[in-house]
Chain A
Amino acid sequence: MDVIRVQAEDFTLATEYKACTDVAGRDCGAIATFVGLVRQADGDTQVTGLHLEHYPGMTEASIEKIVEDARQRWSLQHIRVIHRIGELSAGSQIVLVVVASTHRPDAFAACEFIMDLLKTEAVFWKKEIRSTGEIWIKSTAGDYDRRDGWENAATSSMK
């Protein structure tokens, strides 16, 4: 069973990695993880924090859809996605993705795919608290390009 959590509390990479290796099984040879952090600066602009809002129920469903899509595309043993909400100070952890697979290409691709789709398809709203004011963040053109890139990409690269 994959794990999807939306929570205010921080997460611990070590705990989630351990939980992943506990269930990934005998064929697991590759674990790719990604942690997104609140940047403390964006160029010259100082960022003091992030406000993250979600829509209970719909947000979880949007992540489930992304995880199911990843499972359709690659051969994966286990997936964990944890996304925080609420008020996050600069430097805080925002999001964690852990993917276990037999081979590294599938683990890498699925981890990156999930992060890319979280940017454009997951139901969250982010407000950056900057020294110059508050601003609601939108997906960038680059985010959409990366999402669209997956549509033509090869699926399982297992050999």
Chain B
Amino acid sequence: MAIIEGEPLALPSGTPDDRPNPLGVFARPHNATGFKDWLTTVDHKKIGIMYGAAAMFFLILGGVSALLIRIQLATPNNTFLSADAYNQVFTMHGTIMVFLVVMPIGAAFANFLMPLQVGARDVAFPRINAFSFWVFLFGGLMLNTSWFLGGGADGGWFNYAPNNGIAYSPSSGIDFWNIGLLIAGIGSLTGAINLITTVLNMRAPGMSFMKMPVFVWMTLVTQFLLLFAIPVLTVAQVLLMLDRQFDSNFFNVEQGADPLLWQHLFWIFGHPEVYLMILPAFGIVSEIIPTFSRKPIFGYPFMVFSGVAIGFMGWGVWAHHMFVSGLGPLSVSAFSVATMFIAVPTGVKILNWLATMWGGKLTLNTAMLFSIGLVTQFTIGGLSGVSHAIAPSDTQQTDTYYIVAHFHYVLFGGALFGFVAGMYFWWPKAFGYKLGEKLGKWNFWGMVIGFNLTFGPMHILGLQGMPRRMQTYDDAMGLNLWNFVASVGSFILGVATLLVLVNAYLSSRKWKAAGRPDVGPDPWDGRTIEWSIQSPAPNHNFDVDPVVTSLDDFWHRKYAEDESGKIRRVATGAQLAQPGNGEGVHLPASSYWPIVLAASFPIIGYGIMFTLWLTIPGGLLLVLGLYGWSLEPADDLDLPHDHDDHADLAGVGASHD
């Protein structure tokens, strides 16, 4: 970071006073279409979509590993996976799902949606935004190359010391885990800075804090959590790297080190992490439920402040993952109580969503169903969360399948359901057509049934004493039935999850076959200003900056009270929407350098792991990236500056699907 933030200061280009740069050294790329455009784009919408696509890719990886787990556990004493393979599979499953699926989907929505919702043309630092994505992607890919280079990490997703040390895990799997996530973390950090700056500084005129959509608020909280949580993980990982690669002693018990240091560092990061996985989903359903209940969100200030409160409280509860690590009763009591009280702000949210639905006229389409799915299933996960926040009962439950059930209910039943809801909801804004409702219903019910069939029984398994991370179990333990049920469920769930992608594919085909009919700017009678522009969102977002006068601004423009005090529709969304004419709008040009710069990190990473020689080309590439970055002119000089030339750009958004 220091390099990125610091270095360019020293460089003589790109300053407002010597722009436009007369020498055009390192001209910017200017392809508006094709894959090269995707590689060089700095458009927040495309970057958001790429985050989403990458997450889907990793979801399949994580999902396949989940299914491997379930196959292995379907029957007792199964030998489908060896102990070693099993350990790698569940570690990589957890790691992929958390860091490479849920976090990037959150980033996808934040990137795609947040600038639209605050009425901005792009994020504050578009090139850094692209860099964040690429560095995340390369970190994630590097992590997954471990499968082919000596095996994946085998320490569990929280990788406790000293089991993560070179003595106990001599293969390079954990190095991949460590360095891959370190790299991905750089992306999260730069992304957080970028997005927070955008929310704080680039809101449309009139959009005060209390007029921001709930999703924007949740993005803000999430990114603050990231901003502060990532460095703590970074420190843990750096210490581990120093231990593994450079023989230091941070987790060397023989030298008197305390392995709990790792646990504290990891969970100080880890707990804020779980909230930063759920809050974007909370934000999403806070947009969907009011829209399809045809009512404003119930208790907006409470929604906002409970989100902020969760963000704050999330920092004070990490040791609930360590109730049996031997902290001593005082700490355990303190953390137990603190954890229980997180149920309060979360409960406010749940109940406010219910109250929003109460008395509404509900349109139960797929997006809404998934949202309701989140509300109910997250509650189940939250309640089991509270049951192990009670420390004594956690001594029975921790590290059993009861915990596995808890976190899949909050992560899959909560976060992922919310994200799928969001995909159905904003798909038209991104791609210009709706996802099929019929398949959507199948999608939803398949997922609900598969999900509960998979993870519901895990509550029972856990309470019957099945510890987690078990490669196998014995016949005599009485665990056969529910394990088998869970395995069956997981396949239903897998197929149902795939339907999201199938639906996207089929709907797009149908749409194209029908000659790409216009879905209209406002297909759902939406409430926030992203619905006031064409679908798919034009490259330049807003023709003119929107001026916001109230919460749910767009809705208030469509509806007004008549003389009798009755609320009537005064205009449709299509009537009010901006026509999507980008004339006179100047957009930041694409750039090669984010991806070049990002590519240097994994090379350095491999160098640290295998041979320090490799860090030299990696370092050179890094320097080259920074060099190119700093030399790049602020604008693409090849794009003529006359204002009428930008109409072609506006069409770009529509050309992908």
Q: Do A and B bind each other?
A: no
